[in-house]
Amino acid sequence: MDAVAFLIDPAAVAIVGGGTLLAVCLRTPARDIARALSALRTLARRRFDATPLVEQLAALARIAKRHGVITLDKSVITDPDLAAGIAAIVDGLPADEVTALVDDRRRARIDRHVAAADVWAAAAEAAPAMGMIGTLVGLARMFSAMSDPGAIGAAMAIALLATLYGALLGNLVFLPVASRLRTAGRAEASERARIAAPLARLATRETPRALTPATTLQNAA
């Protein structure tokens, strides 16, 4: 413990940690900060795989073929994007509108992922700057206490440790988190694109075809 105790300085921690938090809060909406904190839970999960959704969609297509698409309204679908697509098909929307709906939800999800990653990227940008501010504060304190040898050491510790904290937090904590969130977001967006085509096929099969004039005459005859 004594070997690392000299690396802990409350004043430097307050300057770098508090300054970074303040900088992020001033430049980021509160909802994006909440999303960034919530996104930390995804770092421990496996990379998103849409295979179970594609398999569930295939099972739903078989049910619709046997019993009609209206029966899908009672299906238990936990994924919100798939549930929205199936609900649109049950409501009778054409394939292009179902595809547009799913794509819009996927883009909105991408935007949320990007916003969360940008919060951590902003923290990675602010932390080294706060470290430099802590260094300047420590140096100013040191020069103002040149007559007190004991105060010089404490001020020098703030100056050096603040720079250390900023560099470590920015490059070993915040930047890796932002990078991993972006990677996970891109992977999920790519995987979720796999459900658009099966939904469109199901919508095309289940949407009633418009009657042409020739068909109308034949039916009347």
Torsion of the alpha carbons at 49, 54, 60 and 63, rounded to the nearest 10: -130
Query: Tens digits of per-residue pLDDT, 178-219?
Result: 999 999 999 999 999 999 999 999 988 765 544 344 444 444
Contacts 24+ apart (CB under 8 A), 67-75: 69/202, 69/206
pLDDT at 3: 57
Q: Is 211 exposed, middle or buried (0-12, 13-18, 19+ CB in 10 A)?
A: exposed
Residue 8 pLDDT exceeds 70: yes
SS3 string of 75-124? CCCCCHHHHHHHHHHHCCCCHHHHHHHHHHHHHHHHHHHHHHHHHHHHHH
CA-CA distance, 136 to 195, in Å (whole number)?
Answer: 54
Are 98 and 199 a contacting pair, CB within 8 Å?
yes
Average pLDDT over residues 56-84: 90
pLDDT at 120: 97
Share of the chain above pLDDT 70, in %: 90
| Rounded (10°) angle between helices 30-39 and 95-144 | 100
pLDDT at 141: 87
- Band of pLDDT at residue 221, cut at 50, 70 and 90: very low
Average pLDDT over residues 16-38: 94
pLDDT at 106: 93
Residue 35 pLDDT exceeds 90: yes
CA-CA distance, 60 to 82, in Å (whole number)?
Answer: 11
Residue 92 region by backbone torsions, left for phi larger than 0, else alpha for psi between -120 and 50, else beta: left
Residue 59 pLDDT exceeds 80: yes
Q: Is the pTM of this model over 0.85?
A: no
